[in-house]
Amino acid sequence: MLFSKKASHPVASDPSVRRSWLSKELVTEPAKGVETVADVLPYCARMYGDKVAAYTRRVVNVVEEKKTVPKKGGEEGETEEKVWKYFTMSDPEPTTYNDMYTRVKQISSGLYHLGLGKDGWTDEDGKERVGVYADTSLNWQLFSHSLARMGHPLTTAYTTLGPEGLQHSLDEPSVRMVFTNSALLGTLEKVVDQCPSLVWVIYDGEDTVDQSLVQKLNDKLASRERPGRILSLAEVTEMGKANMVTAEDGFGGRPARKDLYCIMYTSGSTGKPKGVMLTHDNIICSLAGTRTLLSPLFRSDDLFLAFLPLAHILELLVEMTFYFCGVPVAYGTVKTLTNDSVRKCSGDLVAYKPTIIVGVPAIYELIRKGMVKKIHESPAIVQQVFNLAYVMKKNVPLVGGILDKAVFAKVKQATGGNLRLAMNGGAALSRATQEFLTTTLVTTLQGYGATETCGMCAILTPDFFQFSSVGVIVPSMEVKLQDYPEAGYLTSNHPPQGEVWLRGGSVTKGYYKRPDLNEESFTEDGWFKTGDIGQFASDGTLSLIDRIKNLVKLRSGEYLALEKLESVYGSCDISQNLCVYANSDADKPIAIVFPHEGNLRNHLKSANIPSDGELEDLCKNPKVKDYIKKQLLSTAQKGGLKGPELLQDVILDHEPWTPDNNKVTATNKTNRSALVKMFDKQIKSALSQD
């Protein structure tokens, strides 16, 4: 594709460094006078006032359904009864920008009256730290903006963390207060004795809380050196209404750009979660970058559906960008997204009818594979029409509008019917999935970043749209590629390749209490070494090849890019989760696969292979294993893989991959190190085969 402009340009003083085409200088301010996160909501209230800022839905009922399922570990044919819980949700309820700002002033005043920031209790930076251990919601945002108004740094913890990870995220930064959900109080109670700094617990969801658990926590907190207590967010709000702090600097001074805004803990896939220190300056520079790059894409009727964890910097900055640009944010959950996952109401996608969503590869792979399953279960004529329309739209763009109405309309209705942009972040999305979703559902854009860079580095905008590219450098960052000669990635290659290094206002000040990581990850002149291998295309866009830690040198001396292989093999509709592994003694890689049960059964029926029985039994069947391997190899060849990139063997896993069993991280990324340990014996056997 030819472009009239380049996505990035070399810096005159050092041509190895590239910046966005949108700005010669790095942007640092999203709007005049917005210097810290404390300025963001007041700015929004001034700009948008009584315009709707957010929509929420309440749980109005919990429906329990009993289902008979095969008994795990039981005899053949033995069953047991299990209870599934489904939610009935209210209609969307609006909140304006003025409402948000009023509630933030009330909550911050209530926290101050409670004692946060008073009585001489401070941390090394002069402010008490507050943890947020809660699901994504409007109240998460209100609480975080209240802390910003007071100048208190927040620390984040994923709700999928077990007790050990949660304790580390609260104890290492000496958290004084934690905001959580009533459903998470049980996990919090297990670690509170190991968190001596914790004084207050504020919880959301008083209608569903276990009062005996509240009393138990309250007794523990009240007996501390600095007596504490547990309160609901509603109680804190009422406390604030009666004791309003109206002056913006009424909490002992306003935060400065250099001040710590948050310690964002990673999901901890390779050990204890790492705390990434992000200042107000980091967030504001990043907001300036995303606003400059993305605001031209937004329309007055846009609505963003939020459901990713706000403990992930990607979601936090994306939501802040939409609020800042006047785009309403509608709050959903993964458990209530679709009509199938709720009762007596519509799922979030249909209820809100969003125009924009942001997801991670695991979400988009599930959407695509779910669509494929429904297509395979349709009558033959429907499958033929769909497949023909798919090929035509890909190859004859002019008929796209007609085919959208005639063939793909039903698919689009499942997401509310208004979706026009989907953005992917967190990890690379396979080309096959990006192409499928763009053709049948919505234009799907890629993005790239890391917690250490506020989730921002590059975003694929529609004017540079192409597959397998992460797009345009965000104008708050500058990028350069550094030679990685061990694997042949050189800036002198055509196109230029190397490790991606990032610098600019979005880059973290470092890891919390980890000088070893700081020395390893940052250069003296401010470059952050991402560990990702990238390349610049002739149009100035950036694409990713792999991660250095996932480059494996085979016995033959050739390098394999494991993440690239996972992206290709993972697009096979017969796989729900997949991990590719190889080592220096291997000739080819192997794959650990958790099959997509519905698609697997449909495939087996079509191939005249018995498809009845439990998934565990199917995974033990050699014929099923051979069939899955053949399908994966077919996907590989279509994806351009060859020679040593082709699988030697597969290992089938019948148990779902969840953060609870450590097979994926809290952000649903494959937990390679954990899987390799779990399947060590099978991996050694598979790699030893001829």
* Mean pLDDT for the stretch of residues 177-182: 96
Q: Provide the pLDDT for residue 2.
A: 44
Q: Has residue 370 been placed in a domain? A: no
Tens digit of each residue's pLDDT (9 = 90 or more) over 530-539: 999 999 999 9
Beta-carbon contacts of 67 under 8 Å, excluding residues fewer than 6 positions away, are 81, 82, 83, 84
Same domain, 258 and 191: yes
The CA distances from residue 685 to 449, 649, 670, 671, 690, in Å, are 37, 10, 22, 21, 11
* Mean pLDDT for the stretch of residues 388-394: 87
Tens digit of each residue's pLDDT (9 = 90 or more) over 267-283: 655 567 789 999 999 99
Same domain, 107 and 220: yes
Which of 140, 150, 156, 59 has its CA nearest to residue 100? 140
Report how far residue 181's alpha carbon sits from residue 184's, in angstroms, rounded to the nearest whole number: 5
Please provide residue 638's backbone torsions phi and psi, each rounded to the nearest 5 degrees.
-65, -30
| CATH classification of the domain holding 234 | 3.40.50.12780
Asked whether residue 68 carries a pLDDT value surpassing 80, the answer given is: no
Helix (H) / strand (E) element for 228: namely none
| Beta pairing class for 130-133 and 497-504 | unpaired
With tokens 């958790």, the residue in question is 594
Mean pLDDT over the full length of the chain: 91
* 329, 54 contact by CB (below 8 A): yes
Tens digit of each residue's pLDDT (9 = 90 or more) over 479-508: 999 999 999 999 999 999 999 999 999 999
Asked whether residue 343 carries a pLDDT value surpassing 50, the answer given is: yes
Same domain, 64 and 195: no
Amino acid present at 444: T
* 478, 503 contact by CB (below 8 A): yes
Percent of the residues in the chain that have a pLDDT greater than 90, as a whole number: 73
Same domain, 574 and 587: yes
Q: Provide the pLDDT for residue 119.
A: 65
Q: Where are the alpha helices (DSSP H) in 115-194?
A: 138-150, 163-171, 185-191
Same domain, 153 and 63: no
Same domain, 594 and 679: yes
Q: Provide the pLDDT for residue 271.
A: 65
Which of 136-145, 246-255, 341-350 is predicted least confidently? 246-255
* 551, 559 contact by CB (below 8 A): yes
Asked whether residue 3 carries a pLDDT value surpassing 50, the answer given is: no
Asked whether residue 632 carries a pLDDT value surpassing 60, the answer given is: yes
Same domain, 128 and 252: yes
Beta-carbon contacts of 472 under 8 Å, excluding residues fewer than 6 positions away, are 7, 8, 20, 21, 22, 293, 458, 459, 460, 461, 464, 540, 541, 542
Asked whether residue 690 carries a pLDDT value surpassing 70, the answer given is: no
Q: Provide the pLDDT for residue 123.
A: 64
Same domain, 180 and 82: no
3-state secondary structure of 167: helix
Same domain, 133 and 60: no
At 458, is the pLDDT very low, low, confident or very high (cuts 50, 70, 90)? very high
Question: DSSP string of 523-548?
Answer: -TTS-EEEEEEEEE-TTS-EEEEEEG
Pair of tokens at residue 366: 């599930």
Same domain, 575 and 647: yes
DSSP state of 474: P
**Count of domains observed in the chain:** 3
Whole-model pTM: value is 0.90
Which of 108-112, 122-126, 429-433, 675-679 is predicted least confidently? 122-126
Same domain, 110 and 68: no
Tens digit of each residue's pLDDT (9 = 90 or more) over 123-171: 666 689 999 999 999 999 999 999 999 999 999 999 988 888 899 999 9
Tens digit of each residue's pLDDT (9 = 90 or more) over 21-35: 999 999 999 999 999
Q: Has residue 404 been placed in a domain? A: no
Report how far residue 564's alpha carbon sits from residue 570's, in angstroms, rounded to the nearest whole number: 10
Which of residues 224, 250, 278 is at a domain's end? 278
Q: Provide the pLDDT for residue 120.
A: 58
3-state secondary structure of 299: coil
Q: Has residue 26 been placed in a domain? A: no
Q: Has residue 238 been placed in a domain? A: yes
Same domain, 634 and 573: yes
DSSP state of 430: P
Q: Provide the pLDDT for residue 528.
A: 97
Q: Has residue 300 been placed in a domain? A: no
| CATH classification of the domain holding 643 | 3.30.300.30
Q: Has residue 192 been placed in a domain? A: yes
Q: In terms of residue numbers, what domain contains 107? A: 37-42+93-278
Which of 478, 501, 477 has its CA nearest to residue 489? 501
Q: Has residue 14 been placed in a domain? A: no
Asked whether residue 324 carries a pLDDT value surpassing 50, the answer given is: yes
